[in-house]
Structure 1
Amino acid sequence: MYDWLIVGAGFAGSVLAERIASQLNERVLVVDRRDHIGGNAYDMHDQAGVLMHRYGPHIFHTNSQQIFDYLSRFTEWRPYEHRVLAEVDGLRVPIPINLDTVNRLYGLDLTSEQLEGWFAERAEAVDEVKTSEDVVVSKVGRELYEKFFRGYTRKQWGMDPSELDRSVTARVPTRTNRDDRYFTDEFQFMPKGGYTKLFEKMLDHPNIEVMLQTDYQDVRTKIPHRRLIYTGQIDEYFNFRFGRLPYRSLKFEHVTLNTRRFQEVGTVNFPMTQDYTRISEYKHMTGQDHPQTTVTYEYPSAEGDPYYPIPKAENEQLYKQYERLAGETPDVWFVGRLATYRYYNMDQVVGQALATFRRMAAARESRPEDAGAPA
């Protein structure tokens, strides 16, 4: 009999497994369909010996001291500030759009103050910002929207930005200074030994067992457990009772090249050309010294593993039906991206898992018999 069965060995499941095992001294079994731990953050050395990310680049960044300190128990860090270029009009310019982006693209010599006015002159009045298109054209106008956002978004999501919730493009800021970092968080690092090593240390506890290549449906009635933490797709847990929640997927093409460096920065976006959305080169991120380099081409897809919940109002309404059902399901906690139908950064998933554990521990302390009540 296990105290907890945890479905999924990504950040949500692994953090909760570690907390329950080390802080509550309870037995945990973690199961995962894949042949490895770490979820989408899994990294590995390929045949050439280059450390790469099987599911595309994962860049750690956070403003939370608490989350950074927690993860620091399981890894040392390598400072890394991610930079991205977008190939537009035959040039490679910084994205998010900043002062250098505009000056290089248009052959100008604007100051930050002048750029504010330049944006204002081109911005379109929008009565209410509802869609991803509204977000961009109301800030920088239609021409930059067409160059940087529309094509990329249509490839990434398979639909026009005018059909998507504003949250999609709101994630990418517009700057009037020369800051070319993709993120501005206080803590920007990569795990020194890689993400997989971090997960190995996190799950290395005598109260934790891990079973890989194991489907929850195959073991749910065979392995005795008191409580369940589910980090998979919430609609799948309920046998798609109300229909399937739609996701966007990705296809990855990993290529090893006989050169030390392939591109100027970690990631180059292609909003106007190519079938792929971006190329990422891992040695920028890992700092690895190797005579070869490995890059990944990303092709968005309607089929495949669920990566991105599609942010539309009707999808949120469908999720709410499953959320209500989850609230009525005793002794099951739904945690993580797929279980809550949200796009989270890695640090946000860790934060959600830590907050969930605090609620679990508080419930156990106050009413041990109710410790497994859903969040």
Structure 2
Amino acid sequence: MNAFFNAPEPSSERYDYLIVGAGFAGSVLAERLASQHGARVLLIDRRSHVGGNAYDEPNEAGILYHKYGPHIFHTNSEQVVDYLSQFTEWRPYEHRVLACVRGQQVPIPINRTTLNMLFDANLRTEEEAAEYLAQRAEPVEEIRTSEDVVINAVGTELYRLFFRGYTRKQWGLDPSELDKQVTSRIPTRTNADDRYFSDTFQAMPLHGYTAMFEKMLDHPLIEVRTGVDFAELKNRAHEIADHIIYTGPIDEYFDFRFGKLPYRSLKFDHQTLDQEWFQPVAVVNYPSEDVPFTRISEYKHLTGQEAPVTTITYEYPSAEGDPYYPIPRPENQELFKRYEALADETGGVSFVGRLATYRYYNMDQIVGQALATFRRMDEKLASGRSEAVSVAAE
């Protein structure tokens, strides 16, 4: 049985792999290397728990809440679902989000219902909604920024109602200063589909993310040590293990040699209220710049728990704190490329995951990236074995 420790020092034994970071990327690779290769793995994390930002725990009222804001699992990848299903059962859940706009709570992404509620448009078909949006759209000749994406699709009024204020709060920048990828992720619908995602698989781990991680890491060849900062081990990391898998911030690994990569962070205000429900859906967005937070989340919608009280979280974007979102601007990507070149030249270290590749990934994408990394390692190992057999045969 694997044990989870809060201790400053690993044992004096040598490991095959030292994995830095016990989020999705690090945990998936630890499980694969131990279970498929019989590798001895030391997995460390500076936080006091596994699971990274997906960590959840019951609070004093017994409500399972997400310490780092709501994490909703959705994917189109059967491979990712099949892999994670080894470690959890699932609770079917389709995420819905409302936006508080002009005194109403309306569906987001914008759909036909949104338009009818806000503008009393009486749109009855997809064709009518498409024509209505086309009339509002303001074609942009060259789409370069997040502002361009939205105005080109739905026009200035809807852009200002739903996107400008939210984006300014979330990123600390105007949408005209951000890469087009930020708002390209958000669809606009002409039907009445009010689901936030349209993926084929949408569900929550039945007993929570932390329980899933703990089962994933419950292997005799995996040693997990939390509360351990890689900086304390870095100088002797290759004495501890043959190979390092690093999932932390890539600029931090190289001691910020070229300067810090910019991130946006978040601050959370978790509250338990003496009432059964607070809002009609799991998440309500507040796009207005007059409101300091971006959204309120209510976890019982996600977990299906029944209780006379409820737990909610106010989410405040911040320039300081743990790195959450790489800021998508060309100059930041150029800086990352300099660090990436250093990483490519660094032997004995694999850089995997959101922070190590300076990209925002959904959870399923990180799992997919980790599984792909393992496949490449597996192929390399198999190739080495076949070469050894060939030499022995000679």
Question: How far does the alpha carbon of each residue in 1:286-338 deviate from its partner, in whole angstroms, 9 at most, with x for none?
Answer: 00111111000000000000000000000001001111111111111100000
Corresponding residue number in structure 2 for 1:64: 77
In structure 2, how many angstroms separate the alpha carbons of the residues matched to 1:216 and 1:150? 39
Among 79, 93, 114, the residue aligned to 1:101:
114
Change (3 A) 1:369 1:14: farther
Aligned partner of 2:178: which letter? L
Gaps of 5+ in 2: 1-13, 388-394
Among 129, 138, 142, the residue aligned to 1:128:
142
The alignment's C-alpha RMSD in Å is 1.1
SS at match of 2:279: coil
Corresponding residue number in structure 2 for 1:54: 67
Among 228, 232, 245, the residue aligned to 2:248:
232
In structure 2, how many angstroms separate the alpha carbons of the residues matched to 1:118 and 1:162? 25
Aligned partner of 1:265: which letter? V
Gaps of 5+ in 1: 371-375
In structure 1, how many angstroms separate the alpha carbons of the residues matched to 2:221 and 2:261? 34
1:195-214 aligned at under 5 Å gives the runs 195-214=209-228
1:256-271 aligned at under 5 Å gives the runs 256-271=272-287
Aligned partner of 1:216: which letter? F
Corresponding residue number in structure 1 for 2:265: 249
1:244-323 aligned at under 5 Å gives the runs 244-272=260-288, 273-323=290-340
Corresponding residue number in structure 1 for 2:352: 335
Does 1:42 pair with 2:58? Answer: no
Aligned partner of 1:366: which letter? S
Q: Is the 8 A contact 2:139 2:153 kept in 1?
A: no
SS at match of 1:3: strand
Q: Structure 1 vs Structure 2: percent identity of aligned residues? A: 66
The number of equivalent residue pairs is 370
SS at match of 1:291: coil
SS at match of 2:356: helix
Q: Structure 1 residue runs of 4+, over 6 Å off?
A: none
Does 1:363 pair with 2:376? Answer: no
Does 1:26 pair with 2:43? Answer: no
Question: How far does the alpha carbon of each residue in 1:177-223 deviate from its partner, in whole angstroms, 9 at most, with x for none?
Answer: 00000000000000000000000000000000011100011123166
Aligned partner of 1:257: which letter? L
Q: Is the 8 A contact 2:96 2:194 kept in 1?
A: yes
Shift of 1:274: 1.1
Shift of 1:224: 1.4
Corresponding residue number in structure 1 for 2:4: none
SS at match of 1:367: helix
Corresponding residue number in structure 2 for 1:373: none
Shift of 1:282: 0.3
Aligned partner of 2:195: which letter? R
Aligned partner of 1:140: which letter? V
Q: Which protein is bigger by CA-based radius of gyration?
A: 2
In structure 1, how many angstroms separate the alpha carbons of the residues matched to 2:172 and 2:335? 20
In structure 2, how many angstroms separate the alpha carbons of the residues matched to 1:40 and 1:13? 13
In structure 2, how many angstroms separate the alpha carbons of the residues matched to 1:133 and 1:74? 41
Does 1:92 pair with 2:92? Answer: no
In structure 1, how many angstroms separate the alpha carbons of the residues matched to 2:361 and 2:347? 25
In structure 1, how many angstroms separate the alpha carbons of the residues matched to 2:365 and 2:164? 27
In structure 2, how many angstroms separate the alpha carbons of the residues matched to 1:131 and 1:18? 40
Q: TM-score, normalised by structure 2?
A: 0.93
Shift of 1:368: 5.6
Shift of 1:367: 2.2
Does 1:217 pair with 2:234? Answer: no
In structure 2, how many angstroms separate the alpha carbons of the residues matched to 1:10 and 1:69? 19
In structure 1, how many angstroms separate the alpha carbons of the residues matched to 2:133 and 2:264? 32
SS at match of 1:227: strand
In structure 1, how many angstroms separate the alpha carbons of the residues matched to 2:160 and 2:25? 37
Question: How far does the alpha carbon of each residue in 1:52-102 deviate from its partner, in whole angstroms, 9 at most, with x for none?
Answer: 000000000000001001000000000000000000000100000000000
SS at match of 2:305: coil
Shift of 1:32: 0.3
Question: How far does the alpha carbon of each residue in 1:139-159 deviate from its partner, in whole angstroms, 9 at most, with x for none?
Answer: 000000000000000000001
In structure 2, how many angstroms separate the alpha carbons of the residues matched to 1:248 and 1:276? 14
